[in-house]
Copies of this chain bind each other. A is one copy, B any other.
Amino acid sequence: MLELLRKHGPLSRGELGKHCGLSRTTLYDILAELVSSGAVVAASQQDGPRGRGRPAETLTLNPDAGQAIGIDFARRGLHVAAVNLAHEIVGTASEPHAAGLPWEQRAELAWRLVRTLTGGGLELGALSAIGVGVVGPVGPPLDPEAEAEAHAENDPASGPEDEVPHPVQLLLRERFGVPVLLDNNTRLAALGESIWGAAAGGQDVLYLRLSHGVGGGLVVGGSLHRGAYGLSGEFGHITVDQDGAPCDCGGTGCLETVASIRAVLESYRAAGGRAEDVPELVKATRAGDAPALAVLAEVGAAIGHVLAAVCNAIGPSVIVIGGELAETGAALIEPIERALGAQVMPVSRHRVSLRRATLGEVAGALGGIALVLHESPLLSRYPAGPDLAPGLLRQEDPMNQSRHVTARGAATDGRTAKEGS
């Protein structure tokens, strides 16, 4: 029910019945419990087009029931975003900091930034959680159950044997008092772009970020794909030249060795160009500087080769290119498009759309929120029946990866989430 209301917005009981196919009795039982728990509120539909008879009562998620917070701990700065449970973005904010700032200070900075964002009136109700992006691989696979259980047991160090909580998870859990879901921040940017950005509504999205590192993420069937061991979307470490330069990952000739900011600037300088950073390169490109265009054409061809391979394997409908290097625009995008045109299977070529990212630096924070909305056990909570002990119950759904429910009592406090920043 909560998922249907999250997806469709307000629905009447009849519409909910059509969507879920449950019997009327069962449906009304479930809805009554959700309304009494405060997770769902009923409202008369005043402005429907029908205009006669008694207006149908619609049900909607309770916007006061809590907020979801996303935080992206990037290398040199912090980005935060907040939405209420009606999926309305309450606000976003960013603050740069020195690289290597200790986690304690970054967590404190996050706390202050989030409170600023929400006007100091942060209300993390019963349905809330925090989705956090961090640099580097996150694995073993994210386990929202374990995270929620650790929180429920008030034991910040607990979790499955093979999962060591990230330091920021412990710090934020203590500071905010809610479960903290973690993923790689580039993968979260992929999720953000697929919901609020360039690929909004896309169910199968390939996202590539061209920055100091080259990474990416895959949205598969509307969900973030993590892979069997928490490592996926590593497009930057696909080999493009088996005799190429050594890569930071330990491999040889990875895409990152030719398409990272450093690699591109070095190639440009080797070709006689002068640029200390990406804005200077962008400026040269816009001025039609020949070495800049030649370098970007070569880099774009390598990127397109890798993207075409992944396209043939996965069949996405949208490819999103983000990161600072995407600012070079057509000089980079057109060579990518040419390579895709040559190397994506002919039968698929016209079905894939290549787009520039639109969310900028808050993509990862927004993706953190999407992580919460999609995966938090607290957002799939279902009120407890009399025979269920308090605590978190695991709902195993063999068809669709596991989802979760809590059996804890409702704890909404009726106060309103602040809008705007």
Give the interface of A toward B (CB within 8 A). 3-4, 6-8, 17-27, 29-30, 33, 137, 202-204, 218, 220-223, 225-235, 237-239, 242, 249-252, 305-306, 308-310, 312-318, 342-343, 345-348, 351, 374, 380, 382-388, 393-401, 403-405, 407
Q: Are A347 and B238 in contact (CB under 8 A)?
A: no
Nearest CB in chain B to that of A235: its residue: B313
Q: Are A226 and B405 in contact (CB under 8 A)?
A: no
Contact of A19 (CB < 8 Å), options: B6, B314, B394: B394
Q: Are B312 and A235 in contact (CB under 8 A)?
A: yes
Nearest CB in chain B to that of A204: its residue: B228
Shortest beta-carbon distance from A164 to chain B in Å = 16
* Bound Cα distance from A122 to B305, whole angstroms: 50
Contact of A222 (CB < 8 Å), options: B4, B21, B218, B401: B401
Q: Are B228 and A398 in contact (CB under 8 A)?
A: no
- A388 in contact with B30 given A231-B345, A308-B238, A351-B229 (CB within 8 Å): no
Q: Are B343 and A239 in contact (CB under 8 A)?
A: yes
* Bound Cα distance from A7 to B223, whole angstroms: 22
Q: Are B227 and A204 in contact (CB under 8 A)?
A: yes
Shortest beta-carbon distance from A75 to chain B in Å = 19
Contact of A346 (CB < 8 Å), options: B238, B251, B397, B404: B251
* Bound Cα distance from A343 to B228, whole angstroms: 18
* Bound Cα distance from A401 to B238, whole angstroms: 29
Which of chain B's residues have a CB closer than 8 A to the CB of A388?
Answer: 17, 21, 23-24
Which of chain B's residues have a CB closer than 8 A to the CB of A407?
Answer: 21
Q: Report the copy number of this chain in the oligomer.
A: 2
* Bound Cα distance from A234 to B347, whole angstroms: 11
Shortest beta-carbon distance from A233 to chain B in Å = 7
* Bound Cα distance from A221 to B224, whole angstroms: 11
Shortest beta-carbon distance from A61 to chain B in Å = 13
Which of chain B's residues have a CB closer than 8 A to the CB of A347?
Answer: 137, 231, 249-250
Which of chain B's residues have a CB closer than 8 A to the CB of A342?
Answer: 239, 242, 251-252
* Bound Cα distance from A250 to B312, whole angstroms: 14
- A400 in contact with B397 given A220-B225, A312-B234 (CB within 8 Å): yes
Q: Are B225 and A383 in contact (CB under 8 A)?
A: no
* Bound Cα distance from A202 to B228, whole angstroms: 9
Q: Are A229 and B315 in contact (CB under 8 A)?
A: yes
* Bound Cα distance from A202 to B394, whole angstroms: 21
Instruction: Indicate the member of A27, A226, A232, A407 with the most B CB atoms within 10 Å.
Output: A232
Known contacts A238-B309, A242-B342; 14 further A-B pairs (Cβ under 8 A): A17-B387, A21-B405, A24-B388, A26-B29, A220-B220, A220-B221, A221-B223, A221-B401, A222-B401, A223-B399, A227-B315, A228-B315, A239-B308, A400-B400
* Bound Cα distance from A242 to B404, whole angstroms: 48
Which of chain B's residues have a CB closer than 8 A to the CB of A223?
Answer: 221, 399-400
Nearest CB in chain B to that of A216: its residue: B313
Which of chain B's residues have a CB closer than 8 A to the CB of A314?
Answer: 218, 225, 227, 232, 313-314
Which of chain B's residues have a CB closer than 8 A to the CB of A234?
Answer: 312-313, 315, 345, 348
Q: Are B30 and A238 in contact (CB under 8 A)?
A: no
Q: List 22 A-B contacts (CB under 8 A).
A: A3-B398, A6-B398, A17-B388, A19-B395, A21-B382, A23-B388, A24-B388, A26-B26, A26-B385, A204-B227, A231-B351, A234-B348, A238-B312, A238-B343, A239-B308, A309-B309, A310-B313, A313-B313, A313-B314, A397-B400, A399-B403, A400-B400
Shortest beta-carbon distance from A252 to chain B in Å = 7
* Bound Cα distance from A347 to B227, whole angstroms: 13
